[in-house]
Amino acid sequence: MAMLVDTDTKTELGFPYWKPIRRLFGPESPFFSSGNIERELLAKQVALDLSEEEKHTLQNLVDEGGSREVFCPIVGCGAHLISLEHFEDHYNGRHTASCSVCSRVYPTSRLLSIHVSEAHDSFFKAKVARGYAMYECLVEGCGLKFKNYKGRQQHLVDKHKFPSSFEFFKKAHLSKKARQKQHRKQSIHRSEETSSKMDIEGETIDGLVSAVSKLSTSDSSPPSSISFGRRNTRGLAFVPRAVQREKKAADSVPTGAKQ
Amino acid sequence: MAEGGLTSHRRDPIKSSVGNVAAHRRRQNAVEVGKERRESLVRAKRLCRVSSSCDDSDVCIENDMIIDEEQSILEAQTSSAVEELKSAVSFQGKGAMQKLVGALREMRRLLSKSEFPPVEAAIKAGAIPLLVQCLSFGSPDEQLLEAAWCLTNIAAGKPEETKALLPALPLLIAHLGEKSSSPVAEQCAWALGNVAGEGEELRSVLLCQGALPPLARMMLPNKGSTVRTAAWALSNLIKGPDHKAATELIRVDGVVDAILRHLRKADEELATEVAWVVVYLSALSNVATSMLVKSDVIQLLVQRLASSNSLQLLIPVLRSLGNVIAGDSHTIVAVLLPGCEITDNVIEVLVKCLKSEHRVLKKEAAWVLSNIAAGSVEHKQLIYSSEAAPLLLRLLSTAPFDIRKEVAYVLGNLCVAPTEGDGKPNLISEHLVSLVGRGCLPGFIDLVRSADTEAARLGLQFMELVLRGMPNGEGPKLVEREDGIEAMERFQFHENEDLRNMANGLVDRYFGEDYGLDE
């Protein structure tokens, strides 16, 4: 707001007159500090108040009686989920972004696809051997590629400040039994590369149905488009919607529809 | 965040601890601890003490205040929990997963118990590398959740403790992915939010590692605690001071739409977090402000201000409105045109805030009005003839100092026409005469007497307007009557040269040798 004051002229006052201007403050400006404090004080309280609210919700759930627990039927998982919704969440999380060759699970499709290329794709290996830069940077939006794993690793540390201890691909420490199982699976995979998708789906759906009572299923990974009913099926065998559609052709609910 | 349920055998413990007395005591504790914290730096981090999906055992609702000796017991327990964790991590036999989850859970309970978790003890015992291992790809959800929860509370500690999370960051970011289960992604977002809240350096590391896009995507769904946590974490991530993150965020596909949707429809808790995101977007990024202003964000902010009574929500909404008005000339020039309904609505909600009992709302509403009053003559007329004017006059006499200063800006801006070039700005006589007639001069002279240089400057500048602009030479008489001369004379030998020159200049010109001779 200050005007440079010119005190040389005797007639002119040289006064910094009032000039209306817009005033903008940075978010951390002291101007805003009292408002900021209000936010954090109540944030602390919320952590305690939530337990009040949660108590009431728990009370209601408990009052409704009984449990709706579901055990994940996929063998080796054994996860215990508290409701159908949690199961669907769990299923989408844990059993749909998994590598069909080695069963490693990744939190994004992109990371899964990078893993599959780098660990199992012979075409990828061939290009690497011929000197192409095939190893992608893991950070979304970066776009750089490198000729080898170490080069990409170095880039992550240098450019993206990853810790040097970070390892994208960790060698698994499997028990002897697990190694044998995996070896068997890999040879099946190689010989079944042209089998139809429908067969794999059919095999797994049946497996899921029987798994509730037996907790055993086939080894192949499940298809990506399975959705689960919202009805409370307590007391009944847990039956995915896709299976119901197979048995009753008249069912009008589309596959994979998640409400 | 209250989802999930417990199995029936936990009925009794819940019932015995639900009680108004206990709850009241806890609230008191929170408020007391909060008051102590008021002096220290604002905490941008949040402790996680209750999970969003309670599919395990006890909700920690007892033991909020832990005294000193209990604290050292806690630290000892923490060290041995880390030892347990170490052996569980390397254990490969039967039941390894359960053992690991159990060890993590114990660690997490110790870190969630008190207001001051034993973070230092945990780090010293070597918890972090173990927790990083527990985050490896393919780990079961329960394991990821517990590990991320431990890291969340470690990150909520002192700066060096938050920094200790560096090795875990890429994994935490990766687990924000679309394939992760909701509770895991949310807990990771929470941990990252605490890290981002620590400071600029860590924020820059997170941005380098690509944390922004996945967090932004988590904000797109309509509701859920995950959306709210993601919004909070984002607000910490983009708060600058560099504007790049804010600009990057507004450009993510779907973000503008999600922001508008949440401002329009979300419950107050989610709207509050989103409003804070808008605060930072509008304070830091011109690109963001311009995109928001072109959408109907102002209308949505106004609606929230009109309909809500939650201080938590009103603060960031009001501030967002203030930022878009202050930051982009387009807003006043093209959007808030005098005579348009939207402009009337804005003034109306600002008046509501001026009437509020909350100090922050009054102060910041006055700030927003001062920026509108810095617009065209028509804008000034609009404010002058609204309910705001009498309120402002009253506040100038009675409100706390920081509010009075902002009010002074509004009133002064109402009296001066928009400046063109470097010449002396023209007065709006009608407003000046009326406001002075309604008694605003003493309030300005009071500011001259304050210790705040900015306020004193404002006061002197307004006095100049009065001395120059009141008709019939009334100005000097009015100023004298309110002890204005004496107030200015205090600056004769004042250390601040600027103020000294201003005050002396006025006295010389208007109260010189000729003063009083005509009477």
pLDDT in tens, A110-125: 898 999 999 888 899 9
Residue A20 and residue B419: Cβ atoms within 8 Å?
A: yes
Q: Judge whether A131 is closer than 8 Å to chain B, CB to CB.
A: no
CB half-sphere exposure, B32, CA atoms < 13 A: 9
Q: ∠B359-B360-B364 over CA atoms, to 5°?
A: 120
What count of other Cβ atoms lies within 10 Å of the Cβ of residue A120?
A: 15
Cα separation of B208 and B211, whole Å?
A: 8
Question: Which comes out higher in pLDDT, residue A66 or B376?
Answer: B376
Selecting from A53, A55, A86 the residue whose C-beta is nearest the C-beta of B14 gives A55
pLDDT per residue as tens digits for the range A168-188: 887 765 555 556 665 666 566
Residue B4 and residue A82: Cβ atoms within 8 Å?
A: yes
Residue A107 and residue B505: Cβ atoms within 8 Å?
A: no
Q: Give percent above pLDDT 70 in chain B.
A: 87
pLDDT per residue as tens digits for the range B436-452: 999 999 999 999 998 88
Band of pLDDT at residue B117, cut at 50, 70 and 90: confident
Most confident among A71-75, A90-94, A100-104 (mean pLDDT): A100-104
Residue B423 confidence (pLDDT) above 90 = no
Residue B50 and residue A51: Cβ atoms within 8 Å?
A: yes
Cα separation of A204 and B171, whole Å?
A: 31
Q: What are the beta bridge partners of residue A7? A: none
Amino acid in position B163: K
Residue B226 confidence (pLDDT) above 50 = yes
Chain B, 417 to 446: residues with Cβ < 8 Å from chain A are 418-419, 422, 424-425
Least confident of A91-100, B9-18, B217-226, B273-282: B9-18
Residue B313 confidence (pLDDT) above 50 = yes
Which tokens in the block code for residue B84? Answer: 């347990």
Q: Considering only alpha carbons, which residue of chain A is nearest residue B202?
A: A161
Q: Judge whether B286 is closer than 8 Å to chain A, CB to CB.
A: no
Cα separation of A197 and B322, whole Å?
A: 57
Selecting from B8, B92, B283 the residue whose C-beta is nearest the C-beta of A62 gives B8
DSSP string, B284-309: H-HHHHHHHHHTTHHHHHHHHHHH--
Residue A226 confidence (pLDDT) above 60 = no
Distance from CA of A97 to the nearest CA of B (A): 6
Residue B326 and residue A23: Cβ atoms within 8 Å?
A: yes
Rg of the Cα atoms in chain B: 29
Selecting from B14, B61, B326 the residue whose C-beta is nearest the C-beta of A24 gives B326
Structure-derived torsion over alpha carbons of residues B216, B218, B223, B226, reported in degrees to the nearest 10 = -120
Selecting from B4, B409, B461 the residue whose C-beta is nearest the C-beta of A17 gives B461
Amino acid in position A124: F
What count of other Cβ atoms lies within 10 Å of the Cβ of residue B517?
A: 6
Q: How far is CA B454 from CA A69, B396, B412, B425, B486, in A?
A: 65, 16, 14, 20, 19
pLDDT per residue as tens digits for the range B124-134: 999 999 999 99
List the helix and strand counts (H, then E) for chain B. 31, 0
8 Å CB contact between B280 and B249: no
Question: Which comes out higher in pLDDT, residue B268 or B516?
Answer: B268
Residue B431 confidence (pLDDT) above 80 = yes
Q: Judge whether A5 is closer than 8 Å to chain B, CB to CB.
A: yes
8 Å CB contact between B135 and A106: no
Peptide bond into B425 cis (omega under 30): no
Residue A38 and residue B360: Cβ atoms within 8 Å?
A: yes
Q: What is the pLDDT of residue A66?
A: 43
Q: Which residue has the tokens 């996860």?
A: A79
DSSP A31: G
Q: What is the pLDDT of residue A92?
A: 64
Q: Judge whether A77 is closer than 8 Å to chain B, CB to CB.
A: yes
Distance from CA of A100 to the nearest CA of B (A): 13
Chain B, 303 to 322: residues with Cβ < 8 Å from chain A are 311-312, 315-316, 319
Helices (H), chain A: 33-64, 84-94, 109-120, 122-129, 149-160, 176-191, 197-214, 241-247
Residue B416 and residue A108: Cβ atoms within 8 Å?
A: no
Q: Which of B445, B360, B354, B347 is nearest to B392 (CA)?
A: B354
Q: Judge whether A37 is closer than 8 Å to chain B, CB to CB.
A: yes
Residue A217 confidence (pLDDT) above 90 = no
pLDDT per residue as tens digits for the range B81-114: 999 999 999 988 888 899 999 999 999 988 887 7
Q: What is the pLDDT of residue A190?
A: 53
Average pLDDT over residues A34-38: 80
Q: Considering only alpha carbons, which residue of chain B is nearest residue A95?
A: B179
Q: Which of B288, B357, B348 is nearest to B323 (CA)?
A: B288
Residue A109 and residue B373: Cβ atoms within 8 Å?
A: no
φ, ψ for residue B293 (rounded to 5)? -60, -35
Band of pLDDT at residue B411, cut at 50, 70 and 90: very high
Selecting from A2, A48, A166 the residue whose C-beta is nearest the C-beta of B26 gives A48
8 Å CB contact between B45 and B156: yes
Band of pLDDT at residue A191, cut at 50, 70 and 90: low
Residue A207 confidence (pLDDT) above 50 = no
Q: Considering only alpha carbons, which residue of chain B is nearest residue A15?
A: B502
Best B132, B180, B223, B280 member to test A by mutation, with max A CBs in 10 Å, is: B180
Q: What is the pLDDT of residue A68?
A: 56
Q: What is the pLDDT of residue B227?
A: 95
Which tokens in the block code for residue B392? Answer: 């402002």
- Judged by DSSP in three states, B231 sits in helix
Question: Which comes out higher in pLDDT, residue B515 or B324?
Answer: B324
Residue B19 confidence (pLDDT) above 60 = no
Residue A67 and residue B2: Cβ atoms within 8 Å?
A: no
Best B12, B115, B209 member to test A by mutation, with max A CBs in 10 Å, is: B209
Q: What is the pLDDT of residue A164?
A: 85
Residue A17 and residue B464: Cβ atoms within 8 Å?
A: yes
Cα separation of A57 and A72, whole Å?
A: 25
Residue B488 confidence (pLDDT) above 80 = yes
Chain B, 180 to 219: residues with Cβ < 8 Å from chain A are 180-185, 205, 208-210, 213-214
Set of chain A residues whose Cβ sits within 8 Å of the Cβ of B175 = 107
Q: Considering only alpha carbons, which residue of chain B is nearest residue A104?
A: B138
Q: Which residues contact B86 (CB under 8 A, 6 or more apart)?
A: B126, B130
Q: Judge whether B22 is closer than 8 Å to chain A, CB to CB.
A: no
Residue A41 confidence (pLDDT) above 50 = yes
Cα separation of B397 and B441, whole Å?
A: 10
Band of pLDDT at residue A193, cut at 50, 70 and 90: very low
Set of chain A residues whose Cβ sits within 8 Å of the Cβ of B142 = 79
Most confident among A15-29, B51-65, B88-102, B242-256 (mean pLDDT): B242-256
Residue B412 and residue A16: Cβ atoms within 8 Å?
A: no
What count of other Cβ atoms lies within 10 Å of the Cβ of residue B127?
A: 25
8 Å CB contact between B389 and B349: no
Cα separation of B287 and B42, whole Å?
A: 28
Name the pairing type of β-strands A145-146 and A135-136.
antiparallel
